[in-house]
Amino acid sequence: MKHVCQRCREALPPKRLAVLTFMHRGNERTDSYFFCSTCRIYNIKCDYEHFSGEPETYFLAPVSQEVGDRHIELIRQCPQPRDEYCECGTHQRWSSGLF
């Protein structure tokens, strides 16, 4: 699936710069970070697995390069970013929505 930047609508590079799977309100959610070099912003794709119902994919509001870099730095500190049951500080932060 091809993704476009939420601001300029240009195609985003396919490479995800960071990925984190975590539990959010009892459902599994995976956030993927894509950088738009035109806008210098991060687009965050959100894949939501509902335990009941269809999976859902949507984009969060884009974040600045500064904010996105900080998120990615935190995600890199996690030993298992694809494990939604990981209990590291990054996972706790994302699961509680405090980042």
Residues that bind Zn ion (CB under 5 A): 5, 7-8, 36, 38-39, 78, 86, 88, 91
Token reading at 1: 């699936």
**What distance in Å separates the CA atoms of residue 17 and residue 41, rounded to the nearest whole number?**
12
- Which CB, 48 or 93, lies closer to Zn ion? 93
Least spacing, CB of residue 57 vs Zn ion, in Å = 19
* CB 12, CB 5: distance < 8 Å: yes
What's the min distance (Å) between Cβ of 52 and Zn ion? 26
Of the two residues 8 and 67, which places its CB atom closer to Zn ion in the complex? 8
- φ, ψ for residue 35, nearest 5 deg: -105, 130
For Zn ion, the closer of residues 57 and 92 by Cβ is 92
Say how far apart CA 40 and CA 24 lie, in whole Å: 28
